[in-house]
Structure 1
Amino acid sequence: MAKHLDLEEQEQLAELKHFWNKWGNLISVLLIVVFGGIAAWNGWNWWQRHQGTQASALFEEVERAAQAKDLERIKRATADIQEQYARTAYAQQATLLAAKAWHEAGQPDAARSALAWVAGKARDPGYQAVARLRLAALLADQKSYDDALQQLAGSMPAEFEPLAADRRGDILLLQGKKAEAIAAYQKAWAGLAEQPEYRRIVEVKLASLGGEVAKS
């Protein structure tokens, strides 16, 4: 009986050895790939969390500096977050906040540069749209009307299209292009069905120009 069991064990060992000789290398490679992928994923998640934590701290620094109206601190912190964490949403938010602070402090060139950075480098289309809208307004204030309209050219996320049309109407009106301004305001009005308060403002603009809206 013992010998019979020994023979069975030897056969099983022989089968196992044959199986491993045939498939062992492939199994080893697959295990390396699987566990390597898990390690890489964990490493990536850690790096993302680390990036987010560091970027958040710099955003808060920009926020505190803006509240204190400390323009030099805003400049340093914004430069740091742009250089080190440009791909994060915190960098985009911080730069928009810095642009607002610089604009309010009477530094339009710094504000313009910050908005251009977000418009050109932001990964989120929403932040890009916000930057383009604000940059268009700033350029219009500086009487750079063609440059302002250029910021509003091209596609935007659907929810920003009516806002861009309204801003375009304002700029065209400043250029003395009444008919084109009315057309832009009409487009804005049509797209603002879900924002009745803003829609009423556009309707007032149209009424002042003698424009009509297509009411149902």
Structure 2
Amino acid sequence: MASHLDLEEQEQLDQLKHFWNQYGNLISWVLIVVCGSIAAYNGWNWWQRNESLKASAVYEEVERAVLANDLARAEQAFGDARDKYGRTLYAQQAGLLVAKAAADQGKADTARAALTWVAEHPADDGYKAIASLRLAALQMDAKDYDGALKRLEGSFPAEFNGLVADRRGDIYNLQGKKDQAKAEYEKAWRALDGSEYRRLVEVKLTALGVDPKSLAPQPKAATGTAKS
């Protein structure tokens, strides 16, 4: 005769079988999804690290070529970084480096192409801002003032607001629009508080007849009357 314990164990076993028959497939699929997500996450991190290592090697090749004054080799290496690792920061850095080297050698078209790619395929808002500022400078050199102003439209990271305003001031100044230039330089002066670059803006303001000291916040006058 079965003992009470045997009957209780059999009842629990039957309940477990019933539960598994009802929910077993769901539990299995949930476990598969969770385990798959963990594996995918780990795989993604591994892929990113692997891509970053490869991209850093290509960037170092760009850097060596620039130091050797071999712009053709630098362009080729940048092309590899752009085509294979375009989503990495190293590709952005390579583009900025090639653009500077090309500009230094007077090859504006090459510099413009590299900067345009960085600006239009940003992996980082800061690099996009740098590329846009440098493109605007190239357009200024080419006397494409309207194009330079258009390049500076849109939003920029807050830390670049002063530099963007200063660049707009330069463009307006070259166009002979002195009042607009003053307004932008004043914005730049205020935004660049604590920056060494502010001194250059002060020189530009002074040249336009504006005393930078007049832009500083004035101390509030004391209120109330003194008690005797």
For this structure pair, what is the TM-score category when the shorter chain's length is used for normalisation? over 0.9
Distance 2:155 2:12 in 1: 68
Q: What pairs up with 1:90-109 in 2 under 5 angstroms?
A: 90-109=90-109
Q: How much has 1:4 moved relative to structure 2?
A: 4.4
Give the counterpart letter for 2:54 in structure 1: Q
1:215 aligns with 2:216: yes
Deviations 1:100-125 (A, max 9, x none): 11111221100011111111111321
Aligned length: 215
Render the CA deviation track for 1:151-207: whole Å, top value 9, x for unaligned: 112221111111011111112212222222111111111111121x21121111111
Residue 198 of structure 1 corresponds to: 197
In structure 2, runs of 5+ residues without a counterpart are 218-228
State whether structure 2 residue 61 is matched by structure 1 residue 61.
yes
Deviation (angstroms), 1:11:
2.4
**Counterparts of 1:3 and 1:116, CA distance in 2:** 83
Farther-moved stretch of structure 1 (60-69 vs 13-22): 13-22
Q: Please list, as runs of the form range in 1=range in 2, the aligned pairs for 1:70-89 lying within 5 A after superposition.
A: 70-89=70-89
**1:153 corresponds to which residue?**
153
TM-score (norm 1): 0.93
2: CA distance, partners of 1:128 / 1:16: 60
Distance 1:180 1:12 in 2: 84
- The equivalent residue for 1:128 is 128
Residues 1:8 and 2:29 aligned together? no
Amino acid at match of 1:215: A
Distance in 2, matches of 1:13 and 1:149, equals 77
SS in 1 for 2:8: helix
Does 1:25 pair with 2:18?
no
Residue 175 of structure 1: aligned partner: 175
Q: Percent identity?
A: 61
Of 31-40 and 139-148, the range deviating more from structure 2: 139-148
Q: Distance in 2 between matches of 1:179 and 1:7?
A: 96
- Report deviation, 1:23: 1.4
Question: 2 CA distance for matches of 1:148 and 1:4?
Answer: 90
For 1:36 and 1:208, locate their aligned partners in 2 and report how far apart those are by CA, in whole Å. 65
The residue number in structure 1 matching 2:221 is: none
Shift of 1:3: 4.5
Aligned to 1:164: 164
* CA distance in structure 2 between the partners assigned to 1:169 and 1:3 by the alignment: 95
Q: TM-score scaled to structure 2, two decimals?
A: 0.89
Whichever residue aligns with residue 76 of structure 2, its letter is R
Q: Give CA-to-partner distance per residue, 1:4-43, whole Å, 9 cap, x none.
A: 4443332232222112111111111111111111111111
In the other structure, the counterpart of 2:48 is 48
The unaligned stretches of length 5 or more in structure 1 are none
Kindly provide the amino acid, as one letter, of the partner of residue 206 in structure 2. Answer: A
**Between structures 1 and 2, the one with greater helix share:** 1
Extract structure 1 runs of 4+ deviating beyond 4 A. 1-5
Following TM superposition, by how much is the alpha carbon of 1:2 offset from its aligned partner in structure 2, in angstroms? 7.0
Measured in 2, the distance between the counterparts of 1:149 and 1:21 equals 69
